[in-house]
Amino acid sequence: MKNISKVAILGGGGRTGKYLVKQLLEIGFSVKLLLRNPDNFTIQNSRIEIIKGDAIDEESIGLLLQDCQAVISTIGQRPGEPMVASQATKNILNAMKNHGVQRYVLLAGLNIDTPFDKKSPKTIMATDWMKTNFPEIQKDRQLTYDLLTKSNVDWTQVRVPLIVFSDESSEISVSLEDCLGDKISAFDISKFLVKEMVESNYNKQSPFISAI
């Protein structure tokens, strides 16, 4: 794998995304962000580059990935907007091929099913709740997983329960079968996403992580 110095980020202006951007900068990475409204983004650093654009637009993602060696997405569905997860992933996979990028790490909820799951009744209940209340989002997220499994890139899809937006840090559990806790902080998610980007401990897998 190529050494990673610049990371393309989708969702970097979102609640979890901001923690991720801060951590990447603190460690010394350069970041390139795709933002629809750059004026709302307040983190300032000479190692931040911003592309104004939408994740469902293929050209914007192409520009985003140029000169980057890895992609991390914490993108989330906004109500009333076209489904974003699968289209963004289609665009990212295309752009990765065009720009020779091999590493893609993305964040998701518990609701995606994989053949390796042994979900507890509680996790099944959370999954079913999404299926009943947000069927379109659920379908789009599941489709995203299918696109990843058919791709040739080194992807890791990280599944999390309720996110607490804080700098709190605790020990976390990681499981490929079930979510073992109820919540996790945005700080600990970011730490895991960055570590995973670099180390690829869960390449082509979809681990659940949560606070112990």
For residue 4, the minimal CB distance to ligand NAP (Å) is: 21
For residue 111, the minimal CB distance to ligand NAP (Å) is: 9
* Closer to ligand NAP by Cβ: residue 2 or 82: 82
* Closer to ligand NAP by Cβ: residue 69 or 127: 127
Alpha-carbon span 3 to 187, nearest angstrom: 24
Cβ distance 196 to 25 under 8 Å?
no
Residue type, 69: Q
* Closer to ligand NAP by Cβ: residue 4 or 72: 72
For residue 176, the minimal CB distance to ligand NAP (Å) is: 17
**Helix (H) and strand (E) counts in the chain:** 6, 10
User: For ligand NAP, which residue has the nearest CB?
Assistant: 14
Q: Would you tell me which residues interact with ligand NAP (CB under 6 A)?
A: 11, 13-17, 34, 36-37, 54-56, 74-76, 78, 84, 107-109, 160, 162-163
For residue 113, the minimal CB distance to ligand NAP (Å) is: 15
Cβ distance 83 to 143 under 8 Å?
no
Between the CA of residue 28 and those of 45, 68, 149, what are the distances in Å?
11, 14, 31
The DSSP code for 50 is E
